[in-house]
Amino acid sequence: MDSNIPLSVPNLSLDILDNIKECIETGWVSTGGQFITEFEEKFAKYVGVDEAVGVQSGTAGLHLGYSILGVKQNDEVIVPTVTFIATVTPITYLGAHPIFMDCDDTLNMDLNKLEEFLENNTEKTVDGLKNKTTGRIIKVISIVHVFGNPIAMEKVMYLADKYGLKVIEDAAESLGSFYASGKYSGKHTGTIGHLGIFSFNANKIITTGGGGMIVATNPELLSKARFLSIQAKTDPLYFVHDEIGYNYRLTNINAAFGVSQIDKVEEFVKVKCNNYNLYQEKLEKIAGLKLLPFNSGTRPNYWFYSVIVDKAEYGIDRDELLKKLNDVGIQARPLWGLMTDQKPFKECYTYKIEKAKYYVKNLINIPCSSNLTEEQILYVVSKLKEFKRD
Ligand SMILES: *Cc1c(COP(=O)(O)O)cnc(C)c1O
């Protein structure tokens, strides 16, 4: 066995070569071509929507998304402090400002705190919902299904509706996750809010090398996304542009990966679920380590596995464990640095960040690729046992 165990790597198959060969033979290698359409159609069908628009990255999708939902200079967008930075950076591309929210014990945005904030710190005005502290208008709530764990969308949509806000679902990590009970039973993450964004970066559950997808509940928003992703070209023959657009369309080469990968999502979820259960069974017996659960009433995609290290019981702290694991070739990593601790966001508005500070200090992610073997998992577990200090 190769003793290097990566955290999360692509699971690709050689049928992609046939698709790439076709791209080369036909010359369709850029932002046009049949694989783009085919991937969009297959993707839409898989997540249960009519239409989807392929873009060059999840970040590009989020940038278009915020723009289409009307986020402008000086507006505000509510975001979690626990996320990958790409949820937040596109807000600043538009000259707007993030409002940072805490997480709860699921690592997703704390919706009770969100409600409290909306209740006490905002007021409805003719221009929209005003943040009483900053005086700026709040346009959008941007939620993240962190590590593939579906957030309570019923509550998100209830609050958005009550306060007249739009919702973006950053579903970059949660392709394959859906609700198994409640109002949204059967619905996939990303398909409930006004817009949903997915990513196919190399460490996500499926990959196209680089790429993303946008879905929307209103088809007009989606048409707008497609239009802006191809430089807002109004007349394709005479190159007329009536608006500022972007070069964000997915390429046919990336889509050639996608048409193969999208067929494998369920297979990958199954492996990831089995691997999660095996870790769970083994980690239960190691005092001081706790594998975080996914939300009940959902069918998560089990994208990333999170373990909380309780130093008092485990004997060593999170950082020492991280180092020991990486020293023996097991790639483990901490939670992302909180957005509220990032230099560009230091001065931004934050609302009662508390729990996130605990999780950022005590959490590790352990290997979770969909091609991880039982033997590798048992090796990781044996090291976790070995490193415990009594
Ligand atoms: C990966 C990721 C993104 C960005 O996707 P890219 O395709 O890498 O641009 C955005 N948000 C979250 C939560 C992510 O994990």
197 lines ligand 1 (CB under 6 A): no
Residue 125 neighbours by CB distance under 10 Å: 10
Q: Could you identify the residue written with the tokens 């694989």?
A: 35
* Whole-number Å distance between alpha carbons of 104 and 151: 11
* Contacts of residue 144, Cβ cutoff 8 Å, sequence gap at least 6: 79, 80, 82, 83, 87, 108, 109, 151, 170, 172, 173
**Per-residue pLDDT tens listing for the chain (390 residues):** 557 999 999 999 999 999 999 999 999 999 999 999 999 999 999 999 999 999 999 999 999 999 999 999 999 999 999 999 999 999 999 999 999 999 999 999 999 999 999 999 999 999 999 999 999 999 999 999 999 999 999 999 999 999 999 999 999 999 999 999 999 999 999 999 999 999 999 999 999 999 999 999 999 999 999 999 999 999 889 999 999 999 999 999 999 999 999 999 999 999 999 999 999 999 999 999 999 999 999 999 999 999 999 999 999 999 999 999 999 999 999 999 999 999 999 999 999 999 999 999 999 999 999 999 999 999 999 999 999 998
254 lines ligand 1 (CB under 6 A): no
Classify 74 as helix, strand or coil.
coil
Residue 230 lies in a domain: yes
Residues 236 and 361 in one domain: no
Residues 100 and 232 in one domain: yes
DSSP H or E run through 336 = none
Choose the residue to mutate in 84, 145, 303 for probing ligand 1, maximizing ligand atoms within 8 Å of C-beta. 84
| CA 88 to centroid of ligand 1, rounded, Å | 10
* Whole-number Å distance between alpha carbons of 248 and 63: 10
| CA 173 to centroid of ligand 1, rounded, Å | 7
Q: Could you identify the residue written with the tokens 């996304």?
A: 225
Q: Supply the residue whose CA is at minimum distance from atom 13 of ligand 1.
A: 84
104 lines ligand 1 (CB under 6 A): no
Report whether 198 contacts 44 (CB < 8 A): no
Report whether 75 contacts 111 (CB < 8 A): no
Residues 354 and 366 in one domain: yes
pLDDT given for residue 236 in this prediction:
82
* Whole-number Å distance between alpha carbons of 139 and 144: 17
CATH assignment of the domain containing 24: 3.40.640.10
* Overall pTM > 0.95: yes
Residues 294 and 242 in one domain: no
Residues 54 and 176 in one domain: yes
- What is the DSSP pairing of strand 97-101 with strand 349-351? parallel
Residue 20 neighbours by CB distance under 10 Å: 15
Q: Give me the number of domains the chain comprises.
A: 2
Report which DSSP code applies to 55.
E
* Whole-number Å distance between alpha carbons of 82 and 97: 16
Which is the closest atom of ligand 1 to the Cα of 59?
9
Per the document, the length of the chain is: 390
Residues 91 and 210 in one domain: yes
DSSP H or E run through 72 = none
Residue 1 lies in a domain: no
87 lines ligand 1 (CB under 6 A): yes
Residue 373 lies in a domain: yes
Residues 79 and 146 in one domain: yes
Which domain covers residue 117, as residue numbers?
Answer: 14-264
pLDDT given for residue 390 in this prediction:
86
Torsion of CA 282, 304, 375, 299, to 10 degrees: 70
Choose the residue to mutate in 87, 143, 151 for probing ligand 1, maximizing ligand atoms within 8 Å of C-beta. 87
